[in-house]
Amino acid sequence: RTYHQMKSDAHDCGVEPDHITYATMMKVVGGNTAEESSERKSMLETVFEDACASGRVSSHVIKELRLAAPSTDLLERLLRSRRLATSEKSIFHELPKRWTRNVTADQRRHRVNMKDMVKKEVQASASAK
């Protein structure tokens, strides 16, 4: 609800979601919905499509999408490419320009090493048990 209020600026605060907003929402969805639920898939699709429409898909958004997405199939559908969905390298510069048009140079420099990211997630899961 808060996400939709902010997106529509329901309280006339002059706020607008940025790439951190979209990445954080994906993290929240990933951490608070069942992995294979239709709710998770639907919410991730909505947030990612909103990020694309606003031109705010950064490397950080892609990282959180990859962590929250329950399947490569969902990633492939959202990124519109199997190669981009399964790449272990930074894919930011291969994304459509309209998706990234409002991402600043500083936000573009954020590099994500998928192998390191997966390794950290596995370690965090193991230590939480």
Chain centre distance of CA 23: 5
pLDDT at 37: 96
pLDDT at 43: 95
Calpha distance 129→125 (Å, rounded):
7
Interval 80-113: pLDDT, tens: 999 888 887 778 889 999 999 999 877 665 544 4
Interval 13-29: pLDDT, tens: 777 889 999 999 999 99
pLDDT at 72: 92
- Token pair in block for residue 37: 């639920």
pLDDT at 90: 78
Domain boundaries, the chain: 2-128
Interval 34-70: pLDDT, tens: 999 999 999 999 999 999 999 999 999 999 999 999 9
33: pLDDT strictly greater than 90 = yes
pLDDT at 52: 97
pLDDT at 77: 95
- % helix / strand / coil in the chain, to the nearest 5? 65, 0, 35
Q: Taking the complete model, does pTM exceed 0.85, yes or no?
A: no
